[in-house]
Structure 1
Amino acid sequence: MGGKKSGQSVRRRQPQIGHHGKDELSKFAYDYTNDYADPKWPYHHGKMDKCAIVSLIVFPILIISGITYVWYNAQLKTRVITPMNVPKIISSEMTANNSEMFWGTYRSSLYFGLKTRSPHSPVAGLMWMSQMTDEIPPTIRHWCTQHDGLPMYGWFVHDGKTFGHQEIVDKYYSLTTDFVKKPGGDHGGDWSARVKVEPRKGAEAVVMSLFFYMALDGQGYLRPEVKNNKLVAIRGHSEELGDFRMVFPQSSRPAKMNYLVAVAPGLDKLKEVIMRGVRVFKWDKGRNLDYIGLVGNMVPRDTPSGPNFIVHQVTVSLPFQLVVMFESGSVPERPEPLLGELYHKVITDHLVEFDNKFEDKFQLKKKGYDSKQISFAKAALSNMLGSIGYFYGTSLVRSRYVTEEPLNYWQAPLYTAVPSRSFFPRGFLWDEGFHNLLLVKWDMRLSMDIIGHWLDLTNIDGWIPREQILGVEARAKVPDEFVIQHNENANPPTLFLPLQSIVKTLIKSDAPSDKEYLKNLYPRLKAWYDWFNTTQIGKEHSTYYWRGRDTNTKHELNPKTLTSGLDDYPRASHPSDMERHLDLRCWMALAAGVMADIGRSLNESWQEFAATRDLLTDNKLLDQLHWSEKKNRYSDYGLHTDHIKLERPKTKHTPGQPPLSQPQKKMRTVLKNPEYKFVDSHFGYVSLFPFLLKIVEPDSLKLGQILKDIQDPNLLWTKYGLRSLMKSSPLYNKANTEDDPPYWRGAIWININYLTLSALHHYSTVPGSYQDTAKQVYSELRENIVSNIYSQYMKTGYIWEQYDDNTGKGKGSHPFTGWSALVVAIMAEQY
């Protein structure tokens, strides 16, 4: 071995480790190394310094350890924002090449707005305002908001691809907005839009302004075409659209024409820019009347890129019709513009096609519904289709390793339906599964597109942020406390609900694109599934519990479980890692079954998924973990007491000090210590999950008990649908904090009622002891739900987020044509 000198031997003596063991070891180290002493190394009287040796060994180790520690922590921090390294389900090329879907009403938060399915698309939109009123400053309508108090608005017809017809009722007038696309060229073709405004019955002479605009979201340019001080067109260019032109055909009706050419700091500030760009103009010389109009060019001279926001304003007495025409520069020949008779013909042809497809898909005429009921169902479906948005941006996320500022998720697109244009105009993971239970029945390819976009947001750990707030317009509508997403927080994997039918169809298909979709879908679903089984697993075998509950809450009557989707639905009063959440266990049973089907079709290892499905659907094991013999119902399990109340702290007034201007918030007071037990004093939606997801065996006595309880008016049954929590629950209709009204504590929710009807329909058709009972309950419940939603729509003009269990009255946000639109599938009896 290198270093050994001729004639020398290495003295190897075993050190004696005892009272002086360390010294002996040191001598041994010295004696051993002395034979290989290098005169260049540090000596002390011819012997190497022991401290130097230690330094030479330890310092590199410390340096390497330090570097490794820093690198490892950096990896842990950035892991949450690291995408999966597998092929995407929906590539950017697939989106760009789908010209039929390129343009659309994808600005979900607007009363009327269009954009393309591209990251930084130019956008078009409508605003309007009343003129010559006493309102100062006047209200400009743009974003859908409940504060506007509109009697009604929504799509009556929308096919999700090529055209739509919407009606908006304002205080003094009604607007209808139409759009239709015409294919051609390389960038989605042309489209035309029409806005018709008529005074409402009884309204006096009305003057109002329509503003139609185009704005850039990033690169590109816009240039106005002005003739005789009137804006006649907007020319522009962008990477996604190439050259284009938006034309404003002139009307023969007398009207005041104004325009604005400006620079907007962002799409969320367009209305503010308009408000800064107006002044008072004379209506005419003969009458002392004024109107508010746009001032023209507001672009600073030193702006190198020019304007990014151009607005066409028409101020007119009603009735009036505004037409806008978008023309793609890539269309080589255009025999005639999409106006007048051609526009009317194209719209009419699409209406006929829509009606035929609607009846073919849902067959409501055959089921005996009248024309008004069918029009209602068309509007419900159309509002969901017309609420589909295309978003692009980053989510703000945190993990346990990110303690300072949140991180930006990678920039990504999302094509998704939204629950409510006015209140929730963004993507919600658990809502989207229910949305697609309806969308897949209308257009399976559209639904596959949406699901693919969602699963492409999966990070390397298999996590998907449950709320998607992408882009400045979406973020401007969300309170700060809801923006940041945490990577340990889940949401129900409801995408497996529509995937059940999609997967069955694709497995039978021989099309290479369908096989490719399944192949790209599988690893992302598997990562998502594994993430649940890593982060949401319970302490006991085959149990699960939702993370994200506040263990230190001081103001909540019962800590919310936002991650479950059921928000304030009662769980164990004291969150702990010993909880067992019934609904999550059932969701995982559903997921395992779908995963087994996909894996088997792809010749992947599927046996483990099938084994998990069998385990989680084992009724005996389910009963051991979640059946309360005391109350005869399925329940959560955890550290719980019902003896809690909210009360205001008593404060003593100090003499000489002013009294408190604001009373202290009510505090949570525990009157009796909790204990580990079933949370069986609350019977409601969670208790039904083994039934809702068809896990309970058809001959089970427990199924009979569930059907009995469903029909009990003192529990869940109402004339309008099943309430979310029984009336005798200690938390029935109780506010969770001083400021939070009850949400999932009694109100009727259509998504869970849909699952109930689906389960009843299932148990009425499979052999079992309760077929007749299930059939009878199904018939009555279906009639109650449909008649109430339809009745409320006819009274209020809206479909609602939830319905009052005592009166049937619509409550919450509106229009809510997310999962409440499932009423169409209920009418069609498609589950």
Structure 2
Amino acid sequence: MGGHGQKVRQRKPDIKKERSDDQEAGKGKSKNPKKDASSGIRNLILLVLAAFAVIIVFVLVKGYTWYLETLVTKPLNAPKMIIDNSTSPAVSPSRFWGSYRPHAYFGMKTRTPRSPVFGLMWLTQFTFEMPPPIRHWCSQDDKLAKYGWLKHDGVNFGVQEIEENTYKIRTEFVKRPGGDHGGDWTARISLEPKVKGMKQVVSLMFYVALDGQGVVTPSLDGSRMKKVTGYSEELGHFDLHFLNPEKASGARYHHLVSYANRLDRLKNLMQNSLRVDAWDKARTMSYFHLGGRLIPRDSPGANFMVHQITAEIPFQMEVAFESVSFIDRPNRLRSNAFSEELQKHAENFDKKFTEVFDLENKGYSKDEIDFAKSAMSNMIGGIGYFYGSSLVKSKYNKEPVDYWEAGLYTGVPSRSFFPRGFLWDEGFHNLLISQWDPEISEDIMAHWLDLINTEGWIPREQILGVEARARVPDEFVVQRNENANPPTLFLPLQRLIKRMTGSQDPTFHRFLEAVFPRLKAWYSWYNTTQVGSIPSSYRWRGRDAKTNLELNPKTLTSGLDDYPRASHPTDDERHVDLRCWMALASGIMTDIAKELGQDHSEYEATHNLLTDIELLNKLHWNSEKSWYCDYGLHSSKVLLQRPRPNPNNPHAQLDKVRVVKEKESLRYVESFGYVSLFPFLLKILPPDSQNLFRILVDLKNSQLLWTNYGLRSLALKAPLYNKRNTEHDPPYWRGAIWINMNYLTLSSLYHYANTPGKYQKIAQETYSELRNNLVKNILKEYERTGYIYEQYDDKTGQGKGSHPFTGWSALVVLIMAEKY
């Protein structure tokens, strides 16, 4: 086989393998360097582009995150209602000065961001308390027998009475506009013993303190401060005169010139400056007085000055503030001139009060009318001006952040306990304020609505400035932008629109045009953030679904705090009161849009949807109980129990925790109370509705809400009636009588009693009896205690809670006058 006839094949070299070996030996070197370089550049460019893309995405993500974080503190992009100089003396001279420090027993300031503040403190000498307590900020702990404004018109003057155990203090002030910086005012403080001839020595201390810029200089005559000369941007040059007191024979005078780095520390600074000296030659008695010039070495100079007069009562002092720019004053607002001006304003007040409320023709006595004047005056005299920023937080903020700085002209619920602005309270306040002075009311509402952010949210509690912040526990300071409050500002707006509809008054239309863009944003925020899980349902946010320390997790955002809701908060909850508030709001938005000639179709459609009784009944009518109810994941059998001791620490006192004795399920919350009345309270039910009849019948049931003193907040037979929510929290909206809800009830009864329908007679009878019970009890308690209260006990009628509470409890004046 071997070799004949065959071609011999020659073996050729393996080119591919040689190339591979060459490349391996050459460590990847290419025989086409241009092509390889191009590829490398391309890869580098792609790498750089990828890096840029990552950076851009990162920047976009961070930027969007930053954008979301800043939304909560971004003002609404709409024209402000309160222009920058609208509270200045040039634009609003009559309301520039006022008793705008409701937290103080008596204080004056201007409606400017850093106004100097003026105020009164006093102490009773020769007491058993050492050192004797100094009165300054309104406090229930002072246990005063009584205090409050007797007459106050919100513009020109105010007269107040304060009762200590053994003597009375009367504070009076009168304003007089003039010049370029708001004009003059004078305050008179008078002391009288309760028992004639009783000897008592008292020190009155009147002060001025700067809040930031400005300068004050004392004029001294030995230990006596004769006047303070000052200057600030708001006030220009001014003089504060301490006039010769009347009846103060043997008076001793002292003063304090010092530096206060914060307004909330004035009392402490004064207390620390007290010195002790002998009152009589035998040195058997000692008294306390101010220490003179006490300026810390590291301070920039004096900004806090106090005039002290110590004398045996009765005596009287006058303090006169005079603006140097007021060069053409007819006379000085002192002594007889002061008395004449005060008398003139008091007479005008009485005349206007009669014209507005006409209580004489309602059959009320002089004492009862004086009570009504005081109640209304305390609402007006409780209006304050605050400046600062709220502390807020959204879900995008890791930590709370500052809202923008702003001023707030607002009423307060209670000078002693809640001396700051509350959103839902303010709607009720302005039902009364708007009757007395519509311009003040519009100004207040404009200030509140200017606090709307770009989301359409308003922080529900306004804690502006160091003095306000000092009164609030840390846990309540931060406001969260998912949390609402009842939109009660629509209540006074509704009354304003009814009064002015068809009016040719241009100022009314200008107000509506200014308010409407802000109301649209606010209304939209509710319809975006507070809706429920099914169409046309609504749910309050802010409930704590994780707590086991509360018998029923609070719903602070509803304003009704511990009122029973579904025991286990979930997204499936439906709250009937919020749905009714939105029905009211949508109707008023419709009316405003019509009045302005703007598109109202969307608001009207929502109003028609939310007032559809069949749909309302489907969502909230419990046919088994014949009540309107909330709906949610609920158990009616819950209680607080103390857990078993920890074996490792058997003596530790553990808080009680909630124990559920019946499995929770999605169902109606069967607790008859104020929430059950909302379709009736806000007049959503038709006058011939069978459900209206059922509510009218239930109102008179003493086992439910009816008492001889007003309607209680929760039915006697409700599972949580009068139950503590934690072992530390007494019941709040679980049985007590609240005046704002009784006012809404009377307003609704009055409406149905005067609207043709089958139930007019029962509505009228119930109205008359409830109104009589309510007014009679509030008057009785005022006469017994000297105060109007936050709430009233449903068993005894006795006043409870904070006092004086002349926020919405002052609505008793409108009840007496039958103005709804």
What is aligned with 1:725? 714
CA gap of 1:173–1:45, structure 2 versus 1, over 3 A, is closer
Aligned residues: 785
Q: How does 1:102-113 map to 2 (within 5 A)?
A: 102-113=96-107
What is aligned with 2:360? 365
CA gap of 1:229–1:644, structure 2 versus 1, over 3 A, is closer
- Asked whether the 8 Å contact 2:107–2:120 carries over to 1, the reply is yes
Which 10-residue stretch deviates more, 166-175 or 526-535?
166-175
Distance 2:342 2:293 in 1: 36
- Asked whether the 8 Å contact 1:242–1:329 carries over to 2, the reply is yes
One-letter code of the match for 1:219?
A: Q
Q: Which of 643, 659, 663 pairs up with 1:673?
A: 663
Q: How does 1:505-520 map to 2 (within 5 A)?
A: 505-520=499-514
SS in 2 for 1:343: helix
Q: Which of 65, 79, 82 pairs up with 1:73?
A: 65
What displacement does 1:93 show?
Answer: 1.7
- Asked whether the 8 Å contact 2:553–2:569 carries over to 1, the reply is yes
Distance 2:42 2:565 in 1: 64
Is 2:340 the partner of 1:348? no
Distance 1:671 1:317 in 2: 66
Q: Which of 467, 473, 480 pairs up with 2:474?
A: 480
Q: Which of 333, 337, 346 pairs up with 2:332?
A: 337
Is 2:315 the partner of 1:320? yes
SS in 2 for 1:695: coil
What displacement does 1:287 show?
Answer: 4.6
- Asked whether the 8 Å contact 1:792–1:798 carries over to 2, the reply is yes
What is aligned with 1:13? none
Q: Which of 52, 70, 76 pairs up with 1:84?
A: 76
Q: Name the % identity.
A: 55
Give per-residue Cα distances to partners, 1:677-699, cap 9 Å, x unaligned.
1112x000000000000001110
SS in 2 for 1:94: coil
What displacement does 1:303 show?
Answer: 3.9
- Asked whether the 8 Å contact 2:245–2:315 carries over to 1, the reply is no
One-letter code of the match for 1:478?
A: V
Q: How does 1:746-765 map to 2 (within 5 A)?
A: 746-765=735-754
Distance 2:326 2:425 in 1: 39
Distance 1:152 1:511 in 2: 43
Give per-residue Cα distances to partners, 1:282-332, cap 9 Å, x unaligned.
22434532211111111245644x211000000111111011000011101
What is aligned with 1:625? 619
Is 2:686 the partner of 1:690? no
What displacement does 1:339 show?
Answer: 1.3
SS in 2 for 1:258: strand
Q: Which of 373, 379, 383 pairs up with 1:378?
A: 373
Distance 1:553 1:445 in 2: 45
Distance 2:654 2:124 in 1: 44
SS in 1 for 2:135: coil
Give per-residue Cα distances to partners, 1:603-643, cap 9 Å, x unaligned.
22211001111110111110111100111110011111111
SS in 1 for 2:192: strand
What is aligned with 2:397? 402
Is 2:289 the partner of 1:289? no
Distance 2:48 2:477 in 1: 50
SS in 2 for 1:44: helix
Larger Rg: 2
Q: Which of 126, 129, 132 pairs up with 2:120?
A: 126
One-letter code of the match for 1:332?
A: I
What is aligned with 2:551? 557
- Asked whether the 8 Å contact 2:386–2:465 carries over to 1, the reply is yes
Distance 2:507 2:236 in 1: 29
What is aligned with 2:24? none
Q: Which of 711, 715, 736 pairs up with 2:704?
A: 715
What is aligned with 2:267? 271
Q: Which of 564, 574, 587 pairs up with 1:570?
A: 564
- Asked whether the 8 Å contact 1:156–1:378 carries over to 2, the reply is yes
Distance 2:123 2:747 in 1: 46
Give per-residue Cα distances to partners, 1:520-562, cap 9 Å, x unaligned.
1011100000000111001111000000000001110001000
Is 2:688 the partner of 1:699? yes
Q: How does 1:41-56 map to 2 (within 5 A)?
A: 44=36, 47-48=39-40, 51-56=43-48
What is aligned with 1:767? 756
Distance 1:231 1:45 in 2: 91
SS in 2 for 1:160: coil
Give per-residue Cα distances to partners, 1:342-400, cap 9 Å, x unaligned.
11111111111011100100000011101010000001000101110000000000000
What displacement does 1:204 show?
Answer: 4.1
- Asked whether the 8 Å contact 2:178–2:329 carries over to 1, the reply is no
Is 2:240 the partner of 1:246? yes
SS in 1 for 2:765: helix
Distance 1:471 1:612 in 2: 39
SS in 1 for 2:243: coil
CA gap of 1:651–1:251, structure 2 versus 1, over 3 A, is closer
Distance 2:286 2:38 in 1: 105
What displacement does 1:439 show?
Answer: 0.7
What is aligned with 2:199? 205
Distance 2:489 2:332 in 1: 42
Distance 1:386 1:249 in 2: 25
Distance 1:209 1:228 in 2: 18
SS in 2 for 1:81: coil
What displacement does 1:659 show?
Answer: 4.0
- Asked whether the 8 Å contact 1:129–1:138 carries over to 2, the reply is yes
Q: How does 1:542-621 map to 2 (within 5 A)?
A: 542-621=536-615
Q: How does 1:464-543 map to 2 (within 5 A)?
A: 464-543=458-537
SS in 2 for 1:92: coil
Give per-residue Cα distances to partners, 1:78-129, cap 9 Å, x unaligned.
1100001211112232211211001111001010011001111011000000
- Asked whether the 8 Å contact 2:150–2:378 carries over to 1, the reply is yes
CA gap of 1:388–1:47, structure 2 versus 1, over 3 A, is closer
- Asked whether the 8 Å contact 1:84–1:458 carries over to 2, the reply is yes
Give per-residue Cα distances to partners, 1:495-522, cap 9 Å, x unaligned.
0000002133444343443322211101
SS in 2 for 1:323: strand
SS in 1 for 2:309: strand
Distance 1:129 1:360 in 2: 41
Give per-residue Cα distances to partners, 1:146-165, cap 9 Å, x unaligned.
00011100011111111111
Is 2:437 the partner of 1:443? yes
What displacement does 1:46 show?
Answer: 5.6
What is aligned with 2:804? 815
What is aligned with 1:664? 654
What displacement does 1:336 show?
Answer: 2.3
SS in 1 for 2:424: helix
What displacement does 1:251 show?
Answer: 2.6
Distance 1:646 1:164 in 2: 49
CA gap of 1:234–1:141, structure 2 versus 1, over 3 A, is same
Which 10-residue stretch deviates more, 686-695 or 162-171?
162-171
SS in 1 for 2:704: coil
Which 10-residue stretch deviates more, 278-287 or 760-769?
278-287
RMSD of aligned C-alpha atoms? 1.5
- Asked whether the 8 Å contact 2:687–2:752 carries over to 1, the reply is yes
- Asked whether the 8 Å contact 1:172–1:203 carries over to 2, the reply is no
What displacement does 1:737 show?
Answer: 0.4
What displacement does 1:652 show?
Answer: 5.4
What is aligned with 1:258? 254
- Asked whether the 8 Å contact 1:506–1:515 carries over to 2, the reply is no
Q: Which of 769, 774, 787 pairs up with 1:798?
A: 787
What is aligned with 1:62? 54
